[in-house]
Amino acid sequence: MSKVIADISMSLDGYVTARGVDQEHGLGIGGEAIHAWVLEEPRSPVDEAVLAHSFERTGAVVMGRRLYDIVDGPNGWNDDIGYGHDQNQSAAPPCYVVTHEPPAQVRLASRFRFVTEGIAEAIDQARTAAGDKDVVVMGGANVIDQSLAARLVDELRIHLSPLVLGDGTRLFDLVGPTTLVQREVIESPRATHLTYEVVRD
């Protein structure tokens, strides 16, 4: 059955980017280490399986405008790299961008749709597109926080990196008390992949 899944990599001290995020440093200065489980080669068989399974199950993606500006920027996604990093981009799901105003120009126009009515509408549109596959809210932190605070998420997946950053973009700043049920823990040399069911009141 289709689920709405918030899925993000995070440092041990709760940051999803390092400080200094800009077009040149999409994950902040030194923030790539948060995603070492995906970016460093050779990728472990465990991390490869986690990435491939998530990509295969994803029918649509929701992201915020700041993240979109980075991935559609000159140092962002291309024909070979996109959602799921180096998975088969010809099979990549559509991305729904939560924004106040669509951009004037879109470099990778076939991949993105723009939603100006808020996070709930973006998830609704993504769910329609996804069919029986999952909707993944991939970030940034603000959009994941909004979706959790609005009780729109069924499952939270954290890819916890063995790294302390000390500063950056923190997750959960907008989220009040939330009950989670731990469903799965998968360990690899570069991350602990945590899956939680989100208990809705």
Distance, CA of 194 to CA of 172 (rounded, Å)? 16
Q: Per the confidence metrics, is the pTM higher than 0.85?
A: yes
* Contact indicator for 164, 13 with CB cutoff of 8 Å: yes
Query: Residues for the chain: how many in total?
Result: 201
Identify the pLDDT of residue 23: 84
Bridge-based pairing state of the strands 112-115 and 4-11: unpaired
88-118 residue pLDDT tens: 999 999 999 999 999 998 988 889 999 999 9
